Amino acid sequence: MREFDEIIQQKNLPRVGQMVRSKDYNTLWRVMEKRERWVNSADDPKTGEPRLLPAIYLSFWRVQEGKQPGVGKTMGYTYTLYDNTFESHWEIVP
């Protein structure tokens, strides 16, 4: 399995077009874009040296009544296998 697919599956990340709810603000967002990236990390467990980690970047658009998709507030975050930020801050809306 490719490392990027593993991140999506293990972290249960949403697909493009899916809606998510912010656990912090109870606001709705739609996933508009997904990109595969490599991010720097300075904590290689074996050597302590910097390393590159595979990651998934998701951009979100705030769903607001009367606004067309992509118009209004947007933001993006990068997720790796080694963090729990998606599950801590978001829930996928069925």
pLDDT digits (tens, 9 = 90+) for 13-30: 999 999 999 999 999 999
pLDDT of residue 51: 82
**pLDDT band per the 50, 70, 90 thresholds, residue 38:** very high
User: Whole-number mean pLDDT of the chain?
Assistant: 91
pLDDT of residue 70 exceeding 90: no
Instruction: Please give the tally of structural domains in the chain.
Output: 1
At residue 92, the pLDDT reads 98
Rounded to an integer, the average pLDDT of 66-80 is 88
The pTM of this model reads 0.86
What HEC string does the chain produce?
Answer: CCHHHHHHHHCCCCCCCCEEEECCCCCEEEEEEEEEEEEEECCCCCCCCCEEEEEEEEEEEECCCCCCCCCCCEEEEEECCCCCHHHHHEEECC
For residue 65, pLDDT over 90 is answered with no
Domain span at residue 38? Answer: 3-92
